[in-house]
Amino acid sequence: MIEFRNVTKQFPDGTVAVDGFSLVIPSRQFTVFVGSSGCGKTTILRMINRMVEPTSGQVLIDDHDVATGDAVRLRRSIGYVMQQSGLLPHRRVIDNVATVPYLTGVSKKKGRQEAFGLLRTVGLDESLAYRYPAQLSGGQQQRVGVARALAVDPNILLMDEPFGAVDPLVRAELQTELLRLQRDLDKTVVFVTHDIDEAFLLGQHVVIFQKGGIIAQQGSPAEILANPASDFVASFIGADRGKRRLRVSDIAADNGELLLVDGNGHPAGVIETDDPRLGAGTGPKSRSVSNKTDQAGDA
């Protein structure tokens, strides 16, 4: 469990990024911080591993105040992945993965041995091990970043927009694999994004931020979607623009699947179903899902 108790951060230039912030992040769950640029997500995340020290208040990990121990040792026990992978350009991929073990005195041989295992875990081919980071694609670099963060088998994984700079296809792939990893490895993940879709896809616990590190709403994606706490949240998750209200469109997709559109009429996907009430046959014309169901009932 990670707990923020009444934390305030004022930067030397006077900017108050976070003011009286309190939050409990559950253990062994996937928590996502989401909010628009500059609302304090990175600042809050970095207070967990003391890259940013709070001006006042406390940050506790399992009821232990992080400020009391050694910052370097704390950081080595927490995985950290950021947007621009932050790999060391002058070290080969395999040695990047073994960065933290080397720092703690593990031999090069043993460090590399374990790093090979981690490359497999994150789905990277061993043939890439002796390349330099600049010789990898953006998506591959992010995988190496994740492998590096896992190298000390940390209980906590902090990820600051790790997939922000990769293309949508690769991002989707990385998201799926991260979910699998989190389930398999059973870690506490704190993930920062400004993409609400990504937040709802990944997060078991989603925290929506407003400017100044204020929590607009937190809960499971279902809770938030069903009950936006404010107009701000409704607007942020797109509920007000009808983005989240889907209906079946007038246009029939192939093989009888139904095309869904959102409140603005933008295509959102198709329904695949064997349910005869929803499935095609007659070819839907200008009916919403509920219409279709009614009709099936009439028949």
Partner 1 sequence: MNWVWTNFDMIWGLTLSQIWLSVIPIVVGFLLSIPLGYAASRSKAARSILLSAGGILYTIPSLALFVSIPVVIGTSLLDPTNVVIALTIYSVAIMVRSSADAFASVPEPVQDSATAVGFSGWQRFFAVELPLAGPVLLAGIRVVSVSTVSLVSVGSVIGVSSLGFLFTDGFQRNFFTEVWTGIIGTVIIAAVFDLLLVLIGRLAMPWNRRVSDRKLRRVASRSAVPVS
Ligand X SMILES: Nc1ncnc2c1ncn2[C@@H]1O[C@H](COP(=O)(O)OP(=O)(O)OP(=O)(O)O)[C@@H](O)[C@H]1O
Q: Least Å distance between CB 10 and partner 1?
A: 20
Instruction: Find, among 117, 118, 116, the residue nearest to 129 by Cα.
Output: 116
List the single partner that 132 binds among ligand X, Mg ion, partner 1, none, CB under 5 to 8 Å by kind.
partner 1
Say which residue the tokens 């062994």 belong to.
28
For 251, left (φ over 0), alpha (ψ -120 to 50), or beta? Answer: beta
Q: Does residue 99 belong to the site contacting partner 1 (CB under 8 A)?
A: yes
Among 31, 40, 142, 151, binds ligand X (CB under 6 A): 40
List the single partner that 38 binds among partner 1, Mg ion, ligand X, none, CB under 5 to 8 Å by kind.
ligand X
- DSSP, res 253: P
CB closer to partner 1 out of 134 and 299: 134
Q: Least Å distance between CB 185 and ligand X?
A: 25
Instruction: Give the neighbor-by-neighbor strand order of the sheet with 188-193.
Output: 78-82, 156-160, 188-193, 30-34, 205-210, 214-219
Report how many residues bind ligand X under the rule CB under 6 A: 13
Q: How far apart are CA 27 and CA 74, in angstroms?
A: 17
Among 27, 83, 204, 288, binds partner 1 (CB under 8 A): 83
Among 16, 114, 132, 252, binds partner 1 (CB under 8 A): 132
Among 38, 117, 138, 276, binds ligand X (CB under 6 A): 38
Q: How far is the CA of 240 from the CAs of 70, 220, 236, 244, 261, in angstroms?
A: 47, 19, 8, 8, 15
CB closer to partner 1 out of 82 and 207: 82
x/- mask, Mg ion, residues 11-50, rule CB under 5 A, reads -------------------------------x--------
List the single partner that 88 binds among partner 1, ligand X, Mg ion, none, CB under 5 to 8 Å by kind.
partner 1
Q: Least Å distance between CB 17 and ligand X?
A: 3
Closest residue to ligand X using C-beta atoms = 42
Q: How far apart are CA 288 and CA 284, in angstroms?
A: 9
SS3 177: helix
The amino acid at residue 176 is T
Q: How far is the CA of 214 from the CAs of 10, 20, 85, 156, 166, in angstroms?
A: 15, 9, 28, 23, 28
Q: Does residue 39 belong to the site contacting ligand X (CB under 6 A)?
A: yes
Whether the CB-CB separation of 194 and 37 falls below 8 Å is answered with yes
For the chain, first and last CA: distance in Å?
55
The set of residues, in sequence order, having a beta carbon less than 8 Å from that of 218 and lying 6+ positions away, is: 23, 205, 206, 207, 208, 224
CB closer to ligand X out of 5 and 194: 194
Q: Which of residues 164-203 bind ligand X (CB under 6 A)?
A: 194
CB closer to Mg ion out of 26 and 38: 38
List the single partner that 89 binds among partner 1, ligand X, Mg ion, none, CB under 5 to 8 Å by kind.
partner 1
Token pair belonging to 2? 């990670």
β partners of residue 145:
none
- DSSP, res 155: S
CB closer to Mg ion out of 9 and 292: 9
Binding site for ligand X (CB under 6 A): 11, 13, 15, 17, 35, 37-43, 194
Binding site for partner 1 (CB under 8 A): 49, 51, 72-73, 75-76, 80, 82-91, 99-100, 103, 132, 134, 148-149
